[in-house]
Amino acid sequence: MTIDDQICRLRAAVNELEAMLRPVDDERLLARLGNWSPRDIIAHLVGWNRAVIRGSRQLLGGELPFYDVDPGPDYAKINARFVAEVDSTDKQELLSELRSSASELAGFLESLAPDEWQRLTEVVLGGERLSVRATVDELIEDYLHHSLQIRDWVATDGAESG
């Protein structure tokens, strides 16, 4: 895989999430599906797009990314912050911010040399050395997870799916 391949995967993941959100009206955008609403999921991903840029810079500088310092269980603390920072409830505005933040991340990735992008840094978390490539791969997987979650929720007409 190359940086360009990863950027294509990121864009495809954003497009997939948008497709899953098309049938979600304004009222259902704010309805809970498990712990979060679709609005919260978008806000969460906007936050992570930007956090991965900052965290990747920290990684490349030999530092633990800020979001790994005291994230809480399953990153609950940082996720709550990201959800709160994006306060819009307008679907088009939220999706525009999602696309914009994903474009910022893609631009950051394009600025990296391939060896910076894939290099295992000296930063270790959970016994594993971290890399920008793996960090972005995890974010893309989160997009895919949430796309499926929303798809299933829409298929059950918005009933809680836990």
Q: Which domains does the chain have, with CATH numbers?
A: 3-155 (1.20.120.450)
Provide the residue type at 95 as one letter. L
Q: Quick one: pLDDT at residue 155?
A: 86
Residue 78: what pLDDT? 94
Give DSSP secondary structure letters for 43-83. HHHHHHHHHHHHHHHHHHTT---GGGTS--GGGHHHHHHHH
State the pLDDT at residue 33.
83
Q: Tens digit of pLDDT per residue, the chain (162 long)? A: 999 999 999 999 999 999 999 999 989 999 998 889 999 999 999 999 999 999 999 999 999 999 999 888 889 999 999 999 999 999 999 999 999 999 999 999 999 999 999 999 999 999 999 999 999 999 999 999 999 999 998 888 654 443
- Tell me if residue 161 falls in helix, strand or coil: coil
* pLDDT for position 157: 67
Pull the structure tokens for residue 82. Answer: 């990201």
